Amino acid sequence: MNELHKENFHNLLEQVRIQVNQLKKKNRDLNKENLKLRTKLTEVHKTQTDIFSSISESERIAMRHHVTDLIEKIDRHLDE
């Protein structure tokens, strides 16, 4: 009986080792994928521009005045 328990224990221990090794490999793979995605995100972030960098200064000023006018209209409407 004792020998049977030992063999069973060793079999279970081997299964645990196999699972641990599989999880370690999966973890390494996920870390590599994570690094690739972070690198890609950084590259996209570098090339990305905000919405105001593509318009001229005069267009920005006009947009600012338009937004200010809209805010004033809303304020007047709320005061009524």
Tens of pLDDT, residues 21-34: 999 999 999 999 99
Determine the Cα–Cα distance for residues 14 and 22; give it in Å rounded to an integer.
12
pLDDT of residue 78: 87
- Confidence label for 50 from pLDDT (cuts 50, 70 and 90): low
The structural domains of the chain, with segments of one domain joined by +, span 1-48, 51-80
pLDDT of residue 52: 65
Interacting residues of 63 by C-beta distance below 8 A, sequence separation 6+: 55
pLDDT tops 90 at residue 67:
yes
Calculate the average pLDDT of the chain.
89
Q: How many CB atoms lie under 10 A from the CB of residue 11?
A: 10
